[in-house]
Chain A
Amino acid sequence: MGTDSMPAPQGIETGLDRTQELSRPGTYLELVHSWIVTVDHKRLGILYICYALVFLLVAGVEALMIRIQLFYPHNDFVSPYTFNRLFTMHGTTMVFLVGMPILFGFGNYLVPLMIGARDMAFPRLNAFSFWISAFAGLLLYYSFIGGVGLYGTGSAPDVAWFAYAPLTERPFSPGHSTDYWAIAILANGIGSIGTAINIIATVFCMRCKGMTLSRIPLLPWLYATVSFLVLVAVSPLTAAQAMLLIDRYLGGHFFDTQMGGSAILWAHFFWIFGHPEVYVLVLPAFAFANEIIPVFSRKAIFGYPAMVAASVGIGFISLGVWAHHMFTIGMTSFGNAFFTLSTMLVSIPTGIKTFNWLATLWGGKIRFQTPMLFSIAFLFQWVIAGLTGIMLSVSAWNWQLHNSYFVVAHFHYVLVGAIVFMIFAAIYYWYPKMTGRMLDERLGKLHFWLMVIGFHMTFDVMHFPGLLGMPRQIFTYEPDRGWTLLNQIVSVGGFIQGIAVLVLVYNLVHSYFRGVLAGPDPWDAWTLEWATTSPPPAYNFVVDPVVASRRPLWDLKHPEDPDSAFE
């Protein structure tokens, strides 16, 4: 893995580096304590990532239970009530307790390192944000045992992850399941907003010397965009949850249709959050691709300014497309047309990004190590996912596709095929930096191929029941509709993905103890995080770095052809 073209790392002067000494484990309790009180961005980042991985397993098991239930028509593996809880919790968990935290985790870890800072702008706010998000996750799951629900099996939320009113109002959702949901999301939202503020302040105010705006690596740029989106998009969700709680606890009528309230208003509020949210999830995945693809193609990213502009553009356009989730709700034809157009416009900046990645590959010398394998699969899958998105945005056709399994296939194609794949790529790529050891390549390739096979079995096939009229969120279906075989293939694929994830988990644990030592720069990369030891000391850099181009390490390694000459 390591390349010989690099000067051997000399290691931090032992006299200066007191990390080992300071972080000596001591007793087990001291170790736990030190992680709980930590304000170090790297530790918090790792906490975020571990927390998200645990919930990935939980939500994945929920998904598999969904798939078992749908294996046969009229299956009674779980009751309808349980099924509704399963997909609600699966969706909510995957989006709020897996997607957001893992992306924030990488952001926390990488942003300060990549801009050459010693920590985030507000380390204590950072810790607060993490712990409140952690609290939110535990609260959400406490609902399973926290109350004897209406039907005796706990009272986990069962109103779908978009929780359309008035199903969430007291008369239709008695008990406390919806309260757990609303409060957990509210708390999680506060954590997200805190982190977003922190990341923005870090990117703009903590850069090392010489790192002008046009030299910030793409990852921090995209994280800044994402954080901006979080500020303007998660806040409406927070507001909407507050309204829902006012309705449920104080007897308000925001979404009470009997008192003249409106169900559509909730839908608007939710999707004003919900749509930007999906770009909040995908932009970090793009950010990983922006770092990984160039390094393994051995070429600088193609069209850096266009990449920045396109990302910011995606951020802005995505604020104006939310109602494409509501084409069937009864908007005027003008409204439908407007949101069709605005949605389609997103494909222009995303297209620019896609083609720039292609152009980065073009003329390179591509190395197929595990992170790159995941990134390449990501490219193919992302294009398909985006194109099914375009199909969905054709409002007149959307009347057929909406709320069918075609939509489920579309969004898993993005959420799994693009985001989870890029998260895996990022894990393989930065694990050496975080732990000092490489992940096992053989297991990595096994993981990759299992994941690709499982993914395509599950989510390619899932489009077809949708086209054949299968709505989502149904706990069972009729045998005479021609959906059975397709559902069975999908279910098997889900389990293959499960095995793939298990391989990853094994690899993570195994390599932590047995992995090959990584050294500071195993991939022969170019950004600042590779300029310090793996794992980096608490203070990140012995000497505050100073940069003169976008790829400071490239300049060091290639004094004959430095980037700084071109900027």
Chain B
Amino acid sequence: MATVPLQHATQEGEWRLPSRGMVAMAGLITAESSIFLIFVVAYLYYLGRDVQGPTPREVLEIPYFGTVCLLSSSGFIMLAERAIEHGKIAAFRLWWGVTILLAAIFLGDTGLEWRKLIVHDHLTIHTNLFGTCFYSLVGLHASHVIVGMLMMLVTMVFALTGHLRAEHSYRVKVLALYWHFVDAVWVVVFTVVYVVGR
């Protein structure tokens, strides 16, 4: 049997399949979305159910600056994608670097916010339901930013050492897809925590 060539005359011309990188990333994003969904549901469900303060309204300030940085990084990473596609390595390095920088700024901004909440407002994960939900949800997102940033840094190392070429643009795109997801999640988290939640 093994030698029986299972070759029928195929009418179909070229045999095209979706790329596995993208499909896998889409799968990962689906899974991650459900994780975020659960944390978001918990956040919304516990709004206003605290038995003790502080409340979100009292202590939360809207992180405009960090948000702008993070969301604009999505644009820069698209520029980087386009650059690598056309083999413009220098431009790629620039835009990629900007993206990483913006992510770092966002993280720094979050760090400052947490510092204020902990030191000044005495809100920790242990204080009340709001604290628990807030640090978990925002922290979960921040951890995704960190992971994304690390992967981008690794790519950056490859780019700087000249190992990244136009034919790798496909992999860069998969990574960029993840980054877009991280940004999109921030829109949701931002809405839930800072708009609805206050």
- A residues whose Cβ falls under 8 Å from a Cβ of B: 6-7, 9-13, 116, 121-122, 193, 196-198, 200-202, 204-207, 209-210, 212, 227-228, 231-236, 238-240, 242-243, 246-247, 250-254, 259-262, 265, 269, 272, 520-521, 528, 530-533, 541-543, 545-548, 552-553, 555-556, 564
Residue from the list B10, B34, B42, B50 in contact with A260, Cβ < 8 A: B50
| A-B residue pairs in contact (CB < 8 Å), sample of 29 | A10-B1, A12-B2, A12-B3, A122-B24, A193-B28, A202-B20, A210-B12, A231-B30, A232-B31, A233-B34, A236-B37, A239-B39, A242-B35, A246-B136, A247-B132, A252-B131, A259-B51, A260-B128, A260-B129, A261-B129, A269-B42, A531-B4, A532-B1, A533-B2, A543-B6, A543-B7, A548-B10, A553-B1, A556-B6
Residue B162 is within 8 A (CB to CB) of chain A in the complex:
no
Residue B53 is within 8 A (CB to CB) of chain A in the complex:
no
Chain B residues whose C-beta falls within 8 Å of the C-beta of A201 in the assembled complex: 20, 23-24, 27
Among B5, B38, B50, B125, find the residue whose CB has the most chain A CB atoms closer than 10 A.
B38
- Decide: A259 and B125 in contact? CB cutoff 8 A: no
Residues A121 and B126 in contact in the complex (CB < 8 Å), given A239-B34, A521-B1, A556-B6: no
Residues A546 and B2 in contact in the complex (CB < 8 Å), given A236-B34, A239-B38, A252-B132: no
Residue from the list A193, A532, A541 in contact with B31, Cβ < 8 A: A193
Query: Which B1-50 residues have C-beta < 8 A from chain A?
Result: 1-10, 12, 15, 17-20, 23-24, 27-28, 30-35, 37-39, 42, 45-46, 49-50
- Kindly provide the distance from the CB of A555 to the nearest chain B CB, expressed in whole angstroms: 7
Residues A253 and B128 in contact in the complex (CB < 8 Å), given A196-B27, A548-B10, A555-B8: yes
Chain B residues whose C-beta falls within 8 Å of the C-beta of A532 in the assembled complex: 1-2
- Kindly provide the distance from the CB of A377 to the nearest chain B CB, expressed in whole angstroms: 31
Q: How far is the CA of A542 from the CA of B6 in the complex (A)?
A: 11
- Decide: B27 and A246 in contact? CB cutoff 8 A: no
Q: How far is the CA of A552 from the CA of B4 in the complex (A)?
A: 11
- Kindly provide the distance from the CB of B138 to the nearest chain A CB, expressed in whole angstroms: 13
- Kindly provide the distance from the CB of B65 to the nearest chain A CB, expressed in whole angstroms: 28
- Kindly provide the distance from the CB of B7 to the nearest chain A CB, expressed in whole angstroms: 5
Residue from the list B7, B34, B39, B129 in contact with A259, Cβ < 8 A: B129
- Decide: B49 and A528 in contact? CB cutoff 8 A: no
Query: Which B119-142 residues have C-beta < 8 A from chain A?
Result: 125-126, 128-129, 131-133, 136, 140
Q: Which 5 pairs between the two chains have the least Cβ-Cβ distance?
A: A251-B126, A239-B38, A545-B6, A235-B34, A252-B132
- Kindly provide the distance from the CB of A512 to the nearest chain B CB, expressed in whole angstroms: 22
Chain B residues whose C-beta falls within 8 Å of the C-beta of A234 in the assembled complex: 31
- B residues whose Cβ falls under 8 Å from a Cβ of A: 1-10, 12, 15, 17-20, 23-24, 27-28, 30-35, 37-39, 42, 45-46, 49-52, 125-126, 128-129, 131-133, 136, 140
Q: How far is the CA of A555 from the CA of B10 in the complex (A)?
A: 14
Q: How far is the CA of A12 from the CA of B51 in the complex (A)?
A: 73
Chain A residues whose C-beta falls within 8 Å of the C-beta of B12 in the assembled complex: 210, 212
Q: How far is the CA of A210 from the CA of B12 in the complex (A)?
A: 7
Q: How far is the CA of A207 from the CA of B17 in the complex (A)?
A: 8
- Kindly provide the distance from the CB of A403 to the nearest chain B CB, expressed in whole angstroms: 25
Chain A residues whose C-beta falls within 8 Å of the C-beta of B128 in the assembled complex: 253, 259-260
- Decide: A269 and B2 in contact? CB cutoff 8 A: no
- Kindly provide the distance from the CB of B42 to the nearest chain A CB, expressed in whole angstroms: 6
Chain A residues whose C-beta falls within 8 Å of the C-beta of B52 in the assembled complex: 259
Q: Closest residue to A556 on the B side, CB-wise?
A: B4
- Decide: B6 and A552 in contact? CB cutoff 8 A: yes
Chain B residues whose C-beta falls within 8 Å of the C-beta of A122 in the assembled complex: 20, 24
- Decide: B17 and A204 in contact? CB cutoff 8 A: yes
Instruction: Knowing that A233-B34, A247-B132, A254-B133 touch, tell me 8 more A-B residue pairs with CB under 8 angstroms.
Output: A196-B27, A204-B17, A210-B10, A243-B136, A252-B131, A253-B126, A259-B52, A531-B4
